[in-house]
Amino acid sequence: MTADVCIVGGGFSGIATALSLAERGYTVVVLEAQRIGWGASGRNGGQMIAGISGEHRIESQLGEAGRKLLADIRYLGNDIIESRVERHQIRCDLKRGWMEVAARPRHMQALRAYVDERLAAGDGDDLELVEPADMERVIGSRLYHGAMVDRRSGHLHPLNLCLGEARAAAGLGVEIFEESPVTDVVGGDRPFAATAQGRVEAASIVLAGMMEPKFETGPLNGLLFPTGSYIVATEPLPERVAREINPQDLAVADSNVVLDYFRLSADRRLLFGGRCNYSNRDPRDIRATLRPRLTQVFPQLEGVALDYAWGGKIDIVLTRVPAIGRREPNVYYMQGYCGHGVNATHIAGQIVADAIGGTMEKLDLFEKIRHVRLPVGQFLGNQMLALGMLYYRLRDLL
């Protein structure tokens, strides 16, 4: 079969890009090895955080062009998500309000500096500093030393958003094939993506999200390293308890490098994730691994039932900047969101859709980023990543 664009991957990256292209009149085919939203897109913590990771790297490498890029895209993903939820009536429990809590007193100094910088640049009106003495109004934990609230960021049900966008894309003519793993991708004069059942010929191919190692060639070689992230969900909490631990219903992440993140679901479960994996090996018992930290943050939840537990892999880029660019002139890629995928995937989808349409400015800037690559196999690379995570965990503790 033929299309203007063939997208490999049916997570946020692929579906967000497909919808952006379909809205512009392109014919699009999406090939997904499992089911829509199968990987990190459907299993993540649902935190819609403005911007992307690695912003300081972008500024240091690109200077003023980098600062303008960051200002242009900071809330782009949030705006895309909010407009699609409204336009397509996607039921994904979208709510504004996200907070970074200071795990150490020195972290609060960094949050102050960040807010001052944003205010000086003229785009910090939605940010609010919460002093240590005022933390009771935003969180029912005594563990933190202040916070920054971003009222334009927020939280949502990620799988429902991904499925809702897929339905909207299909309604615009996008053909989606699940359980269709891609066996080969070829660029050049006649690009195509092949599966065991056939192939799709297209003017452009998009590698969207985590790929098999055989596709990570050229600029992707040695760049991406998957690491584990895990979440538990409590039983539904009484309304009084939910209000006590999270009175403003904010999504929350702490300021450590190896961090905790949590939020309340629409049915008042606490979803609590992160920080349990420093060896890049899956824990034998996710509940037993995360419960001690959960009750350290919220002692009032001692003894609460943990109804669900799950985990999966996220792609880490050592520079923390998402990898957005071209493997070949007509083969695009977008990967490595470092835990910020809900928002960053939609930014990347817009950037790649713009590039396919001939507007290359933002893609060109991402391609200028100098990434750190490990000249080793993925197994050894994962061990080095685990050592690095252990270093940062020790630094967080000290």
Per-residue pLDDT of the chain (398 residues), as tens digits, is 999 999 999 999 999 999 999 999 999 999 999 999 999 999 999 999 999 999 999 999 999 999 999 999 999 999 999 999 999 999 999 999 999 999 999 999 999 999 999 999 888 999 999 999 999 999 999 999 999 999 999 999 999 999 999 999 999 999 999 999 999 999 999 999 999 999 999 999 999 988 777 788 788 887 877 788 899 999 999 999 999 999 999 999 999 988 999 999 999 999 999 865 545 678 889 999 999 999 999 999 999 999 999 998 888 888 889 999 999 999 999 999 988 999 999 999 999 999 999 999 999 999 999 988 766 545 455 555 555 555 445 454 55
| Cβ-based neighbours of 312, under 8 Å, separated by 6 or more | 39, 40, 43, 228, 229
The pLDDT value recorded for residue 388 is 52
- Asked: is 2-397 a CATH 3.30.1330.60 domain? The reply is no
CA dist 389 and 385 (Å) reads 6
Phi-psi region of 222 (alpha: psi -120 to 50; beta: other; left: phi over 0): left
What the block records as the tokens of 195 is 């599966």
- Across 213-223, b (16+ Cβ under 10 Å) vs e yields eebbeebbebb
Partner residues linked to 233 by β-bridges: 271, 308
Contact yes or no for 154/44 (Cβ under 8 A)? no
CA dist 132 and 134 (Å) reads 5
Phi-psi region of 111 (alpha: psi -120 to 50; beta: other; left: phi over 0): alpha
CA dist 45 and 117 (Å) reads 28
| Cβ-based neighbours of 227, under 8 Å, separated by 6 or more | 277, 280, 313, 314, 316, 382, 385, 386, 389
What the block records as the tokens of 306 is 């943990």
Calculate Rg over the CA atoms of the chain: 21
pTM, two decimal places: 0.92
Q: What is the DSSP string of 39-99?
A: THHHHS--EE-SS-S-HHHHHHHHTHHHHHHHHHHTTHHHHHHHHHHHHTT--S--EEEEE
Give residue for tokens 């600062």: 67
CA dist 367 and 267 (Å) reads 42
DSSP annotation of 340 reads -
The pLDDT value recorded for residue 278 is 47
Amino acid identity, position 333? Y
